[in-house]
Each structure stands twice: as C-alpha cells, then as structure tokens.
Structure 1
Amino acid sequence: MIAYILKSAVLLLIFYAIYKLWLENEKMFRFNRAYLLASLIFSFVIPLKIISFETQFSSRIQLIELNELVLQKGSQNLESVSKNDFLSVLILVFYAFIVLLLAFRFAVNIYSFFSKIKRNKLQLVNGEKVILIDDAVLPHSFWNVIFINKNEFENGKIPVELIMHEKAHLQQKHTLDILFAELIQIIFWFNPLLVFYKKAIKLNHEFLADEAVNKQFDSVTSYQNLLLDFASDKNTISLASNINYLITKKRLLMMTKKESPIKIILKVCTVSAVYVLLLFVFSTKTMAQTVSNKADVKEKDIYTNDAIEKKPEFPGGVLAFYKFVGSNFKMPAEAAKNKFEGKAYMQFIVEKDGSLSEIRTMKDAGYGIGDEVIRVLKLAPKWTPGSINGKPVRVMYSLPITIQAEK
C-alpha cells in the first residue's frame, strides 16, 4: 500500500508539473480539461498495474518482508505480538474517521443545493433554470441550475453576461469535474497535491466560460471590466462554479491570447508521449533487489511485493500466522535460563501449491533459536498461494524475530 501511495504521488506531481510548465498558459482549454481529469485517473490507476508489460513471471520469486515478530516468554508456549499491529489499526481508524468526516461535509454541501432549489422560486432565463435566493451572493451554478440573488435580479442589476457565463458552466457539465475531484480528495485526503488539481480544474472552467461569453458578445474589454467589478468579492460557494473565482491578471490575459495551432499540436503530441512513457515505466515489473546468497533462490530474480497482484495468505491472515508461530515455539532451555535477548532473521518460500520450502536461518540468534523456528515453520499448514495475472507464483518471505526475556 505504501508503494502504491508513493507511486501515485509521484505521478500526480509529474503530471501537475507538466501542466503548470507546459500547458496552463496555452489557449487549449478543452485539452487541458481532459488532461487534468485524465491525470487524476492515471495517477491512481497506473500503479495498480492493471496493464502489465511483464509476462515471464512463472519461475521467478517474489520477496515480501513481514513485520517484526516479538516473542517474549520462558520455556512455555509463546504468544506472538507484532509491534506494528496497534499502530496499523490506529492509522486505519484515523484514516476512516477523516474520510467519514469529509464525506459528511460533501453530503451536507450537496444537500444544501437541493434544499435551496426546493425552498426558493424557480424561473427560466434564456432557457436555463434560475433559482432566486435571498442570500447576498454572486451568481453561481451547480448541476443544471443557476443561483442568483433575488433582489438584484428583480432590480435588473444582474448583467446578461453573468447569466451566460453560468450557462456555459452548465452546458459544459463542469459540475461533474468538480464532484469527481472532490470524491478523489475524500479518498486520498492525505495527498496535498489534490488541492492544486482542484484549483487548476476550477480555473480552467473559468477560462472556458469566459471564452463562451466573449464568443457570444464579442466585447472582451467590456467583459473584463465587468469581472473586475466583482474581483474584490471573495465569497465563493463550495462545489459550485463561481464567476469570481481567481479573477487575476492571468485570467484576463487569457481572453486576448492568440492560439498557435502548430504549438498546440506539438504540446499535445509531447504530452501524449509522456503518458505512454509513464504508463510503460510504472506498469513494467522490473527487478528491485537481489539476495546476497544466490544459492538461496537458485539464481532466480527477486521482485518487491508490489509486483504481486494477490499475495499468499496464511489461513486466518497474517496475525493468525504470528499466533501460530508464537503458540508452537518453545524457548530452548539454555536461552530461557540465561534470559537471552536477541534477533533472528528467517527466510522461507511459499510455493505455488501453498506449501513452505527452503526454510532458512539467515541470521541466527544463538542457543538453537533458529532451528526451533524452522521446526515450527515446517508444521505450518498450506497457505493460499500468491498469483500474478491469475497464475500462481513462488513468493519468498523474510521474517525478522525479536527474542525478549521474560519480565
């Protein structure tokens, strides 16, 4: 999971850097819209390796390092405790709490829009549904409705350009982009890059809506002056398309910027090549590490565990495996007598049929502890084997064990 999170973060950073340095200042708003949304999708899909360029894997061994197993007892049967178990559960609970909190806020924001629709007057303006509300807010849109202050609308203080601006948001379905980005952020709330993606998506929406208004009225200067009248109003509505969103020099300049077809084609081709390259790099299962003693793996390659689509599983899960080792392990009498403390590093392979083989002591703690662990592992029932693309593979496990004296 950590490898997946890091890879998705790297992809998000690369795609966003390309957008800021290569695309944002170009008048290619529709392509940029597709690019930003595709970047979000690709960044979280590519690391899953749904598409793989590695096919020869059946004879290779995958390597997984288990969390440290702590054994603490005298010569009686031992109970196993993983140092990271409590921390893992705590992190999971905290993550779930934040997700639920953000999901609740998201639901409340959605409900507030539909609540306004039900409670306030609706009328058609230029073929679009307009909800007249008492709140002192600028025109904004959500889904298929435009929200306008009732008093200003009835007194004729809402220029038709503003309504056309919001109409452009509705026609181009910008709400779907915002909702999608919001859902992604709820799930991956811990990634700060998503804040910048949401900002870029919303700003690009404004470029598109501004372009639609200027094409219809063909009066850029007048429209720019109109926007500047609202620049000081910082009031925006979450999840809505707001006309006063980032009224900056860049937004005004984009209205007069000239398109360069050759430059656009060049940039589109370059970005497409980058996508293909990243897809290949992040979807290829490459060798990540080797074993110091090649005899241990019979000269075969070893890959990190992110190459395994379905990891081997001990009956009942990894905690059950720790308990199995702890309950069957018997402390050698000499080690118990001397209240020995130390570490042992074990290694074994889960075969394609789920049995354990090549059980070895990579570093013995002494007093025959390594031999005792080997005895216990030989008693283990068959695991559910690991697989890639539905085919079973051999998987090597590294198991660090800490021996603690009875307290």
Structure 2
Amino acid sequence: MITYLLKSGLLLAVFYAVYRLLLENEKMFRFNRVYLIGSLIFSLVIPLQLFSIASFFPSKIKTIQLDEIMIVSNQSILKEVSYNEIVYFFLGAIYVLIATILLIRFAINVSSFFLKMKKNSVQFIDNQKLVLMKESILPHSFWNAIFISKEDFANGKIPSELIAHEKAHLQQKHTLDILFVEVLQIVFWFNPMFVLFEKAIKLNHEFLADEAVNKQFDEVKSYQNLLLQFASNKQTVSLASTINYQITKKRLLMMTKEKSPFLMILKASCVVAVSVVLLIAFNSEAVAQSSDNLTTKKDNYINYIEASVKKPQFPGGIEKFYMFVGQNFKMPEEFSKQKIEGKLFIEFMVEKDGSLSEFKIVKDLGYGAGEEAIRILKLSPKWIPATENGQAVRVLYSLPITLQSEK
C-alpha cells in the first residue's frame, strides 16, 4: 500500500508540474480539462499494474529477488513489532475518522443544493432551470440548476452574461468534475496534490465558461468590466461553479490572449510523450538479480525481454507469503542454543501449475536452519503461476531470511 501511495503521489506531482509549465497559460481549455481529469485517473490506476508493458530496452533475463524476511526469538524485538502494530492501528483509526468526517461534510453539501431546490421557487427560462433564492447571493450553478437571488432577478440586476456563464458550466457538466475530485479528496485526504488539482480544474472551468460567453456576446471588454464589478464579493459556495471563483489578472488576460496553433500542437505532443514514458516506467515488470541459469528458452523459463509478462502471485499477495513463512518457521533448538545470527538464502521454482519445486539452499547457517526454511516452502499453497504472452511459465525466486536467536 505504501509503495502504491508513493507511486501515485509521484505521478500526480509530475503531471501537475507538466500542467503548470506547459498547459496552464495556453488557450487549449478542453484539452486541459481532459488532461487534468485524465492525470488523476492515470495516477491512481497505473501503479496498480493491472497490465504490464515490457521495457523497450534490451536486458538480461532475470530472477525475482524477494524482500528479506526477519525471524527472531528475541522478546524485545517482538515487543517492538507489537508496538509498531499498535501505531499502525492508531494511524488507521485516524485515517478512517477524518475520511468519515469529510464524507459527512460532502453529503451535507450535496444534499443542501437539492433542499434549496425544494424550498425555493423555480422558474424555467429558455429551458434552463433557475432557483430563486430568498437571500442575496452570487449566481452559481450545480448539477442542472442555476441559483440566483430572487430580488435581484425581479429587479433586473442579473446580467444575461452571468446567466450564460453559469449555463455554460451546466452544459459542459463541470459539476461532475468537481464531485469526482471531491470524492478523491475524501479517500486521499492526506495528499495535498488533490487540492492543487481541484483548484486547477475549477479555474479551467472558468476559462471554459468565459470562452462560451464571449463567443455568444462577442463583447470581451464589456464582459471583463462586468466581472470586475463582482470581484469585491468574496462569497463562495462549496461544490458550486460560481462567477466569483478566482477572478485574477490571469483569467482576464486569458480572454484576449492569442492562440498559437503550432505551440499548442508542440506542447500537446510533449504531454503525450511524457505520459507514454510514465506509462512505461511505472507499469513495466520490475525484477532484480540477473541469473545465468535462466538463459535457456526451451525450458520455458520466463524471458523478461518479451511483452505481456505477469509475475507469479501468492494467494492474497506477497505480504501474505512473508507472513506465512514467518508464522510457520520454527527456530531449530540447536540453532537457538548456539545463539547464532545471520542470513540464509533459499531458491525455489514456481512451476506452471503454481506449485513450488527445485528447492535449493544457496547459503546456510547450519544447525538445520536451511532445512527448516525448505520445510516451510513445501507447505506453501499453490501460487497463481506467471504468464508470458498468455502462456504459463516457470519462474525462479531467491528468498533471503535473516535469523536472530535470543541472547
């Protein structure tokens, strides 16, 4: 899980940096919208490695090197492990508590819009749903409705440009983007990158709505002056698309900025290239420790040069395998008496049917330690076998085990 969070966080940071450097100042708002939402999906899905892509660079055939397992009989170390479990439980409880609070707040915010629709009068103008609020508010939109002040509407104080702006938000389904990011922030509340992405997405929404208004009325200067009149109003509505969201110099300048088709194509191409590189880098099977005894293809050993390779999987994941070995390993009595510490290395083959075979003690510590490790491996349930181009193949594993007897 920690590895997944680190990878997804790194991807989010890279994609956000690319957006700020290459895309934010370009009038390619629809492309930017797809890029920002796509970056979130890409960053969360790719680290799961639901499919694999072989490296384009030639490499030697590999043996999979597992992480080290430590088995101890020292009570002080066991107490330290127990303490770590308490810390993990405490951190997990904090995560659930904060996520629950955020979920409740999110539900309240969403339901408040539908309550407003029920409690206030509704009118339809040009097939657009308007909710006339009793209080004085800035025009804002959510889902399929525009919320405006009833008094201002009756007195003709709501310019048609503002209605067109909010209507553009609804027609382009901007609410879906905001809800999507809000849900991600609930799940990944500890990652500040989602806050930055939400700000970028909302500002890009404003660019899109401004563009729609200027195409309809073709009065850029007049529209800019209108926005400046509302700039002093600091009122905001959570989850809503509102005319007052970040009225900045950049937003006003973006309306009159000239498009450069060549530069837009160049930057879009760079973005695609970066995405492909990240896809390959984060979704290729990673293995270590080259081994000469895997060079023969006729025995159907796994060849990592070829595409569509999936590693073997222990039922429940590799962490379950480490737990299986640790919980079943019995420290040999003579080994404990000698108070030995050290690391032994075991090799084993995962066969095409998922069974384990060809157990080999590469480095032993004596006193039956290596034999005990092999005994545990022989008790292992069948693995999900590795596949190469859709065909089951054999894979050699190397497992280091550190043993520490009580002193």
* Match status 1:127 vs 2:131: no
TM-aligned CA distance change 1:192 to 1:25, over 3 Å: same
* Match status 1:195 vs 2:195: yes
Aligned to 1:259, the other structure's residue is in SS state coil
5+ residue gaps, structure 2, are: 296-300
Letter in 1 for 2:400: S
CA contact (8 A) 1:142 1:175 kept: yes
Distance (Å, rounded) in 1 between the aligned partners of 2:107 and 2:132:
23
TM-aligned CA distance change 1:331 to 1:282, over 3 Å: same
CA contact (8 A) 2:302 2:393 kept: no
Distance (Å, rounded) in 1 between the aligned partners of 2:144 and 2:311:
42
Letter in 1 for 2:73: L
Cα drift, residue 173 of structure 1: 0.7
Cα displacement string for residues 94-146 of structure 1 (whole angstroms, at most 9, x for unaligned residues): 43433333322222221111121122211113331111223443111111111
Q: Please name the residue that 2:2 is paired with.
A: 2
CA contact (8 A) 1:61 1:302 kept: no
Q: Note the aligned Cα RMSD (angstroms).
A: 3.5
* Match status 1:323 vs 2:327: yes
CA contact (8 A) 1:53 1:284 kept: yes
* Match status 1:396 vs 2:398: yes
Distance (Å, rounded) in 2 between the aligned partners of 1:261 and 1:317:
53
Letter in 1 for 2:280: F
Cα drift, residue 265 of structure 1: 2.1
Q: Please name the residue that 1:246 is paired with.
A: 246
* Match status 1:355 vs 2:356: yes
Cα drift, residue 168 of structure 1: 0.6
Distance (Å, rounded) in 1 between the aligned partners of 2:135 and 2:369:
73
Query: 1:7-406 residue pairs with structure 2 within 5 A?
Result: 7-54=7-54, 60-65=62-67, 68-72=70-74, 85-287=85-287, 289-290=288-289, 311-313=313-315, 317-318=320-321, 319-325=323-329, 328-332=330-334, 335-336=336-337, 340=339, 342-349=341-348, 351-352=350-351, 353-355=354-356, 357-360=358-361, 362=363, 364=365, 368=367, 370-371=369-370, 373-374=372-373, 376-377=375-376, 380-388=379-387, 391=392, 393-394=394-395, 395-405=397-407
TM-aligned CA distance change 1:63 to 1:82, over 3 Å: farther
Distance (Å, rounded) in 2 between the aligned partners of 1:161 and 1:314:
57
Cα drift, residue 320 of structure 1: 4.5
TM-score (norm 2): 0.81
Letter in 2 for 1:323: Q
5+ residue gaps, structure 1, are: none
Give identity over the alignment, percent. 44
Q: Please name the residue that 2:298 is paired with.
A: none
Aligned to 2:386, the other structure's residue is in SS state strand
What is the aligned residue count? 386
Letter in 1 for 2:346: Q
TM-aligned CA distance change 1:281 to 1:208, over 3 Å: same
Cα drift, residue 241 of structure 1: 0.6
Cα displacement string for residues 329-362 of structure 1 (whole angstroms, at most 9, x for unaligned residues): 3432x734x7x37454443435223325435374
TM-score (norm 1): 0.81
Letter in 2 for 1:384: W
CA contact (8 A) 2:356 2:378 kept: no
